[in-house]
Structure 1
Amino acid sequence: MANKNNPAPGDGLRSVRTTSLFRAVNFELYTRPNAVIMGLGLLAITGCAGYIAYMRSKYEGLGYYGAVKEDGTEEFVKRKSKWD
């Protein structure tokens, strides 16, 4: 790591004199990226998106469809036949 008195290019915020409060509040600016935590976060986000897609396809398979109301919100409505 470079000397604090003589910062090198690319040191970023680590070379800037700051208070401990600033470092505590902005902790992510001073830590190195962690590949394991990043992978777990990516896995969690992918799982959530997959679950939402699964539930949407499940409702559509049961005969529901996404209808947009007049106020702009979406609601799942059961398909109705003209013959009912």
Structure 2
Amino acid sequence: MSDKQPDHKYQPGEGIRSMRTTGVFRAVNFELYAKPNIVVMTLGLIGFGTVLGYIAYMRSKYESQGYYAALQEDGTEVYAKRRSKWD
């Protein structure tokens, strides 16, 4: 009975990258094997922050013009102009 020793000595922190897997598994689960890329992460955070900022800006713009989010009877949300009872 011969015990095969692995060719690779596993180091702490390697995680799933050090395991032997099939090419299909690596292709389907690409994010488990890709090393973090700080440039792509920074661009993603800037884009996400920009989108959130734009949504907040548009919401405040509508609210400052007197619009509010109203629900219709069928459950859809629309922006309606505030009206006074005295008009």
Asked whether the two chains share a fold, i.e. TM above 0.5, the reply is yes
RMSD: 1.9
Q: Report how far residue 73 of structure 1 moved.
A: 4.8
Q: Report how far residue 9 of structure 1 moved.
A: 2.5
Q: Corresponding residue for 2:50?
A: 47
Superposed counterparts of 1:1-84, under 5 Å: 4-69=7-72, 73-84=76-87
Give the secondary-structure state (helix, strand or coil) at the position aligned to 2:50.
Answer: helix
Largest Rg, 1 or 2: 2
* CA–CA distance in structure 2, aligned partners of residues 53 and 11 of structure 1: 41
Cα offsets for 1:28-75 (capped at 9, x unmatched): 111110000000000000000001001101111111012345666533
Q: What is the aligned length?
A: 82
- Percent of residue pairs identical: 61
Q: TM-score under structure 2 normalisation?
A: 0.80
Unaligned runs of 5+ in 1: none
* CA–CA distance in structure 2, aligned partners of residues 6 and 34 of structure 1: 26
